[in-house]
Structure formats: C-alpha cells, structure tokens
Amino acid sequence: MILVVDDDKTIRLSLKLILERNEYQVALAEDPKAAIDVIRNQPDIEMVLMDMNYTLSTSGEEGLTLLKQIKVFRPDVPCILMTAWGSIGLAVLGMRAGAFDFITKPWDNGVLLDRIETALKIGAAPLSSPEGDTAPFKAISKSIEAPLGAVGGASPSIPLPSLSGIYATISRIAPTNAPVLITGESGTGKELIAEAIHNQSRRADKPFVKVNLGGISTSLFESEMFGHKKGSFTDAKADRVGRFELANGGTIFLDEIGELELASQVKLLRVLQDQTYEVLGDSHTRRADVRVICATNANLRQMVEEHTFREDLFYRINLIHLHLPPLRERPSDIPLLVDHFLRQVCKQNRLPLVTASSDAIAYLQRFPFSGNIRELKNLVERTVLMKESNSGPITSNDFGNQASSIESLCPSDFSTGNTSSTLEDLERTAIAAAIQRHAGNLSLVAKELGISRGALYRKIEKHGL
C-alpha cells in the first residue's frame, strides 16, 4: 500500500486515481499528524509519497520533520518527496535526511509511476549479497557474459571475489530504471559494468549510447545532447540528432560526468528530472525515455562541497552507487585476470597457450597499476607478443622487461616489495618519465600508461607537471 500525504485535496485524489488505475492500494493523509497515525497503525504501508509543505510556510521544515519521524517508525519504507521545481533545494535536504527520491510538481504520470516502481523494487531491500554468495552472479552470467568476462577476467561461473557484491547488485537493479553512478579510477571497467547493466535490463534490445562528457564543451553541450535544427545557429547547416534521441527507449551512458561544467549541469538536471528536452531551434518538447548510467573517477562528494558539482544533480544520478576498487586493492583478482588475458591474446593471435609462473604473478601483485585492469591487460599482451615462442611459462623478468614505463624508474621497489616510495610518488615519476620519452605527446603518454587523455590531464594537474 502507498501512503499519499498532501494538504491539497485535489492532489490527493488525483494521485489516488492514478495509482489505483495502476493496481496500487492507496491510503491518504492530509497532514503530518494523520500520516504518522497511518504509519503507526497500518503495517502494510510499503511506500510514502509526500509533500514538503502543509501550511502557508514554504520552508519545507514540516516535510523534513515528517520524513524523519517516518524513518524512526518505519526505516524500511522508502519515501518519495514532491516539490516544485523552484524548491529542489528542499528535496536535496530531504535526500540527506533519508528520502529515496524526489519528483517535481507538476509531475509527469509516466515519470511518477516509474519512480514508484523503482522505489518499491529496490528502495527497502539490501543491494548486496552476503560475502561469498555467488548465486546472484550465476543467475545473470549468460546474459552479461561478454562485458563481465572482460571486467572479471575469468569465466562468469567463477566471479572475482572482490566484485561479488557488485555482481549481486547488478542482478537486483538492472531490471529497474533506477539511475546508476559508477565510480572508480580509470581502467577499472566502469563502461563494461554499465554495459552489463544495460544487457540485463528490459531495455537490452534498445540502443546503448555512450557519451564522454569530458570531451564536450559548454557551447556545444545542448547541440550534442539534445540535437539542433538547421539554421538554429551560425554553423547549423543541417539537422542534428542529439544523444538523448539516439538513446530513446534504451540506455545513455554519461562517462566522466565530473568533467561537466556547472552551466551544463543545470541543463542535464532538467532533462533527468522531468525526462523532457527541447531540440535547439525547435519549440516542441520531447520526452526522453532513457535509463541513465553515469561514471566518473572524480570525488563528486568533494566537488559538491567545493561547489563545482551541483548537489541536486548528484542526488539525481546517485540513486544506486557502484564503486569499482582499484586493482592494487584487490591483488587476489590478478591471477584470474592474467589467466583470462593470456588465453585471450593467445587465441586472438593464434599462438600456443602460455601460462604465468608463480613468481610472475607475485611480481604483478606488487605492481601499482595506476591504469588498473586496462594497464594489466596491455602489459600481458605486450609480454606475450614479445616473448620467444616455446620458452616456457612467463616469468617476472618477462613482465619486468615490458614494464619499462614504470619499473625502469625503480626496479628494486617492485622486485623486492619495498614500499618506501608512496604510490603518489611512483605515479608522478612514471608520468613525468613517459612525457619525457614521448617529447610531450600526451596521446602517446596516455596510451603507454593505459589511461584516458582526460585522466592524464587531471593527473598532470594534480602532480604539477
């Protein structure tokens, strides 16, 4: 049963009609006191849809107080807040206080029902399985074998220990339309996880559109994302279809969202909130029927505190959060990854299958891998291709000879396990040396280090190079 709390009788009855037509049972309350009475006396309440103001005041304090009281009596019940677009700041306060989601008035019935369905499916239940439980992963392995095989590095029937919780979360949230934020360093497999979610969703037969927001300037943002009509601005010589239209019915993957300028963040928030947009040069409003998955290697919470990323946008994209740990924090995964990449490169190049010796694996487990899985894959491939045929298993020396971009700077640190130098120091030294080797060609530097150009720029700035 859904509890609707609003002091406007027309709104209460409208929501009751919409929900009952979609086979939901509904309870109504006109103020916080009546709402708490329902919460305390009706144990079958599964969700609360509530306004933020109940008197002439527009501060939202009554709504925040009610939300906190509901969470005391029923912490398991997800709450969706209703607020006007101009009062989204109130919704942000509500999200901090434990609200599941928020919608703006006037609402779109399709958007409302979609948010309700998502809240009922995943709002109250845990999103990760007990440690060691591989059943959720096995249940979805066939449909997402390719992307997760690439991330996990082994047969999907043998999930990597460090990612078992992520696999379980994917199986739970993929069938919903919940927005997902994937975080982690460059090279950890964020895009592949996004593909896995799409492939297991109800939108799997629709487009999966990838957008690198770090490569889109503020002046071109609207044209790239929403499209434009011929003649809408000076260089608009033909109609252009925007990314949201290309992704209609499917999933849009917004990579490097932490790179988006504030001016563009406002425009993105509007389409994510209302699921509507307008093509430049066309006054016709279009609906964006897309599932949104975002990714970043930036610390968005810190950016919110520094006022470089909008807090309301952060809560809108962060309904479900998946964090991919860096490879250096999960050395137990390296043997499985290496085995997979060895098999892959040998098959692709029609070479005899080779294995890695125990000392080679131990060497790799001490390696910092600033480029994470991408860097490991590149190192394994280079080593296999450069190794003399029929010369036995790959050794630590074989890997060491190909890891010149990092190990040549401090070989004793890796071969002996010496950790006197911090990872930050090693990263800075490696980047500086790569820049010198390639005479400042940052494209070649990024390729050698196994990271994107955007990530390289941020690291250069971070280390003052």
Compute the distance between CA of residue 264 and CA of residue 71 in angstroms, rounded to an integer: 35
At residue 295, the pLDDT reads 95
Tokens (6 digits) for 232: 């809408």
Q: Which of 317, 331, 397, 332 is nearest to 366 (CA)?
A: 331
At residue 142, the pLDDT reads 38
Burial class (CB in 10 A: 0-12, 13-18, 19+), 265: buried
Cα–Cα–Cα angle for 250, 256, 257, nearest 5°?
A: 75
Compute the distance between CA of residue 239 and CA of residue 252 in angstroms, rounded to an integer: 21
Q: How many CB atoms lie within 10 A of CB 219?
A: 11
Q: Which of 179, 173, 143, 145 is nearest to 159 (CA)?
A: 145
Residue with tokens 């969700």: 47
Global model pTM greater than 0.85: no
Compute the distance between CA of residue 328 and CA of residue 187 in angstroms, rounded to an integer: 12
Mean pLDDT in order along the chain per 10 residues (465 residues): 93 94 94 93 92 78 90 90 75 86 85 89 54 37 41 42 79 89 90 90 94 85 88 78 93 93 90 86 87 94 92 91 90 88 89 90 88 88 81 86 58 46 70 82 80 77 77
At residue 257, the pLDDT reads 94
Beta bridge partners of 291: 251
Q: Are 48 and 77 in contact (CB under 8 A)?
A: yes
Q: Which of 455, 179, 127 is nearest to 314 (CA)?
A: 179
Q: Mind listing the domains of the chain with CATH numbers?
A: 2-122 (3.40.50.2300), 174-323 (3.40.50.300), 327-463 (1.10.8.60)
At residue 135, the pLDDT reads 37
| C-alpha dist (Å) from residue 249 to 203, 209, 243 | 7, 11, 12
